[in-house]
Structure 1
Amino acid sequence: MRITKELNERLTRVGPGTPMGELFRRYWIPACLSEEIPEPDSPQVRVRILGEDLIAYRDSSGAVGLVDAYCPHRKAPMFFARNEECGLRCVYHGWKFDTLGNCVDMPTEQPDSKFRYRVTMKAYPTYEAAGIVWTYMGPQEHTPEVPDQEWMRAPATHRRVSKSGEHCNFLQAIEGGIDTAHSSFAHNNDLENPRLLRNLDRHPKLDVDFTDYGFRYASLRNVGNDTTYLRIYQFLLPSQQCRGFLVGLDGKTPEMPGMYGHIWVPIDDENVMVYNTLASADIDHPISDEWWDAHESEMGRGVPERIPGTYWLQRNAANDYLIDREVQRTKTFTGIEGVNTQDYAIQEGMGAIVDRSTEALGSTDRAVLACRRMLLKLMDEMETGTAPAGTEPETYREVRGADALVPTGTDWRDAAKEMTLTYW
């Protein structure tokens, strides 16, 4: 499938009124982390999603609002508003709005004025679960059920979530996430160890199945001794990957088998916020703060690795991701620290929106092609009045990815029936 410049525009533009933007607006998507607005009446935060500037806040009752970033009166910035008594009060003229966008006080008008009843602020519904504030930005009559995935149902002691901003279009970030072949190269962090599983076979065979919630695909690598390294990925619409972690890169079972995933939420056409999810798949293995902090730093996105007070990385294009050429020559394939940072260096380095019309795709790009075909099909169908797939929880609530070493010749679909069973 050749992606023309016109199709590339259709796939990558996400602002209001664009086909892809309207598709995203038909799903519940993350707006921010719960930790960003931790307490009632805590300071509000700026949020930018799908090209729209918004404000997220927690009111006095604990309810979360996601409202326009600018007051409807004279467009003053609501970031500077007072969060008080179940509403945001604009500091310019004192107009106050609740989480539903209703104007509840207009002190500049006469006490008997009814004008406030005719003034509203744009507000989107929210749903808080698993450490994330989710929002639905589409037509009210098409509002789907709230999300319900296995990692979300895990106890708080057994799940974690983080996020980091990336300066590129959401689609090239997704395509990096669902590209299994690059891990043999970009994430080879031990050049002296040729026995790493992903290095034993650098040309994995890929197989893709479309599903009611998106698609799933298998990566199969021949790692010797009549053994295949099988990794099953799940792609949940509109922009989420779920995979297992049951086998370590050295072929050993890790201490904590888990479910890993990413949710890519477009900030605008040229930036994306990446939510990283992890849940332990075993009741006997909660996730400690120490383990999580070490994991996030290893990925390159822990608190010490971020620009202070933000979710953006210190290693970035402005400093060439602090690449160390000597480390690249002798120790790691890229010379860049952090798996997450390695991905960002490559994906951001392609430019804000990569020109897909000049690509030369190979056999390991089948999942990338599947994603593009699926999104194009969904946009076409939505424009003819067909509801997009994957909006109802029953289609995905039991979905889980898997990793395993299996006998060569094993049918991965048969293996998946046993390996992808949910626990929570």
Structure 2
Amino acid sequence: MSREEADRTLARLRDEKERIGAALLELEAHQGYQLLEGATLSGESQRVQADVRSRSGSLWSLFDLYGRTVDAAEELRARHPKPGPAQLAELTRLLAGASVELPVTEVPLERRTLLAVPAGERLTLRAAVDRMTALYEEIARSVAALDTVWSTLLSRLAEVEAERRAAGELLESLGGTEPEFERLRGELESAAAVVRGDPLSLARDGRADTARLDAVLTGLAGVRRRLAEAERLRDGFTDRIRGVAAVLELLREAEAEARGVRDEVLAKIASPVLPDLPEMSATLADRLAAVGAPGRGGWHDLAERVADLERAAAAALDRARETAGVIRGLLDRREELRGRLEAYRVKAARLGHAEDADLARIYEQARELLWTSPCDLRSATVSLSGYQRAIMSRAKGAER
């Protein structure tokens, strides 16, 4: 090399060395690298950790050797402002020759032989940069892949643990125990150990599989909702109990109404097919009386019992009202048939058949059935239909 070529090469290598050093420091500052470096891992994650540490050690060692060679060339150039042929030859060796000598431990296994005397491998500065580049890219890929999985898992784990803390605080304030919470807490501890110890075991096609954490999160959210309901019950316990008592009073009224309507139907309708009478008010009243204060299960256990009682009371009230409506429907049917009979009579008179003896006979037959207790609704319906047909027949005859 000429003096100018050596100076240009030194300037380029000086800049290259600074940029490589900055890139290595940036790599070590990466969140994924920091997580990997400080963690105690197992399984596949431990294998990746060991591989990254090994490659990182080789990378820094190679960079140190590379930097020493560049520094040696700069020192030589600084000592000789006007280098002669010998100095230029040495600069050429350092800058362009195989001047970076690797110790035996840094020589890749595939480049060693069984009988050869162990010796370090020699690289040019350019070859050293190429090898550092390959090591850097391999480390970066491993760190990025692990960071993608681990960051997702740790983020979801933080959500689940926040949900566990919220549920735990509610449970502590309410007192008592919650078996489902204890089960989910154990499952969370087991899942967290996997996330922190071997996150790559939860990787699927390069992405984090959060299904296990998601299931725990869903379960804890359900527990927290139930505990929050218990907290609301505790804060408004008296009002809730009064509310149930009010529904039970409506239920007793609805059941009494159903019995009264049933008695009326039995008296006024012949051979009615009736649903069973609702009789839940007494049983639910006993359950309400047994609610009392929270026991060993705490307020959340009491909340579940009150909520069940509220649902049962509301359902029983709906059934009682529905049953009363079904029974009353038989009386409504009789009133409907009576109304239709009178409407047909008016129609017959409008058509000029008020004095028709046959129509009068059919009318009286239907009327007797509908106004006799108990009323045979089936026979009355048949008689009414006959009356209607007779009127329609006379109406068609008049049109012809």
TM-score normalised per structure 2: 0.20
Which structure has the bigger radius of gyration? 2
TM-score normalised per structure 1: 0.19
- Return the structure number with greater strand share: 1
- Return the structure number with greater helix share: 2
Bigger relative contact order (CA 8 A; separation at least 6): 1
